[in-house]
Structure 1
């Protein structure tokens, strides 16, 4: 049993796949953060635009 665990720890097959999975996870987190900030900024932009148009159209 001990030999199995030693061999398992030393086995480097699949390491590249794990590295790609970690990298993909980091990319997803970064894109989510950027997307959230972009969405908030665009919402504020359109709200301000709508409010300015409403204010300008009042007599």
Structure 2
């Protein structure tokens, strides 16, 4: 059984500290499977960190 923890507000983890690394890994996988082209949009994700869902 696999479990996932989603910590969207940074309560459990310092999201900013792991965001770039995690995004690079995910988007690399997407590029390898042909589901994404181009650079990893790290700056875009950094802009929406801490923003409420309706604003995003």
TM-score by length of 1: 0.34
Higher relative contact order (CA 8 A, sep 6+): 2
Higher percent of residues as helix: 1
Q: Could you say which structure has the larger radius of gyration?
A: 1
